[in-house]
Amino acid sequence: MTLIIDNLQHIQKSIQMACQRAGREVSDVTIIAVTKQVSTERAIEALNAGLSHLGENRPEGLLEKHETIENRATWHYIGSMQTRKVRKVIDQIDYLHSLDRISLAEEINKRVNHTVNCFVQVNVSGEESKHGLTPEEVPTFIEQLSNYPHIRVVGLMTMAPNTEDKELIRSVFKKLKKLQLEIASKGYEYAPCTELSMGMSNDYEIAIEEGATFVRIGTALVGSERRDSNEGER
C-alpha cells in the first residue's frame, strides 16, 4: 500500500485547489481519516502523517483502535448507530455523524453526563439504501432535539449518491448547504449547525467547493485492507 503521507500530500493539494476555486480557507476544512477498513497500525501511521481526526463506522472497530490510540485522536463515529450500542461507545466518541431519530437522541442523552457533538444525517438524494432524514423532516427534528440537553447539533451530514454524475453529486451538496444555513439562521443555542460533513474519496473536491467543513476520506487516504467492513453501515 502507498504511504499515507504521500496520499495525504496529494489530497492536501487537491483540497487547496478546491478551496481556491471556492474562495475558502484551507483551515476551514478538516480531514477525517476513515480507518474502518484498515488496522490499528495503519491508523497510527495516519496520526504520524499529521492527521488527528479518525472515523469509524462500527463499535468494534472504534473500541479496538481507541484502546490503543485513546486521546491521541479526535474520534468520529460515521456509521449508523444502533440504540443498544450507544452505551458501549458514547464515551469514546467526540463527534457522532449519524443522528437520525429521536429515540437515538433520547438514549444518548440518558447515557452521558457531557455534551455530545452531533451531525444530523440527511438523506438528500432520497436513495432507499441510505440512512437519514428527508430534508423536509430536518427543521422539526432539530426543534425536538431541544428536549435533550446533552445533544449539541454542530451540523448536518450527508452521503452523495454513488454515481459518475458530478452535477447530481453537486446538487446534493448544495441542498445540504442550503438546509444548514436555514437551521443556523434560527440561532438555537443547542444547535449552532455551523458545520457540514460531506465528501468522501470520490467527491471531496466537489463537497469542498460546496461548503464542506469536514470531509470523510477512507480509500484514497489510508487505503483498504478489509472486505467485510461496510456491513456496519446497514
Ligand X SMILES: *Cc1c(COP(=O)(O)O)cnc(C)c1O
Instruction: Note the helical H segments in the chain.
Output: 4-22, 40-48, 59-69, 86-89, 102-111, 138-144, 166-184, 204-209, 219-222
* Near ligand X by CB under 6 A: residue from 7, 33, 36, 44: 36
For residue 79 the three cell numbers come to 456509521
Minimum distance between the CB of residue 189 and ligand X, rounded to whole angstroms?
A: 28
Minimum CB distance to ligand X smaller for 143 or for 165: 165
- Which part of the chain contacts ligand X (CB under 6 A), choosing from 15-23, 39-47, 136-144, 215-223? 215-223
* Near ligand X by CB under 6 A: residue from 200, 206, 208, 212: 200
Helices then strands, each counted (H, E), the chain = 9, 8
| Residue 78 in contact with ligand X, rule: CB under 6 A | yes
For residue 20 the three cell numbers come to 481556491
| Helix, strand or coil, per DSSP, at residue 226 | coil
* Near ligand X by CB under 6 A: residue from 11, 15, 31, 34: 34
Minimum distance between the CB of residue 216 and ligand X, rounded to whole angstroms?
A: 4
* Count of residues that bind ligand X according to CB under 6 A: 14
Nearest to 203 by CA among 191, 219, 187, 224: 219
| Residue 135 in contact with ligand X, rule: CB under 6 A | no
What DSSP string describes 49-75? TT--EEEESSHHHHHHHHHHHGGGSEE
| Residue 42 in contact with ligand X, rule: CB under 6 A | no
Instruction: Please report, as ranges, the residues that interact with ligand X according to CB under 6 A.
Output: 34, 36, 57, 78-79, 159, 200-201, 216-220, 233
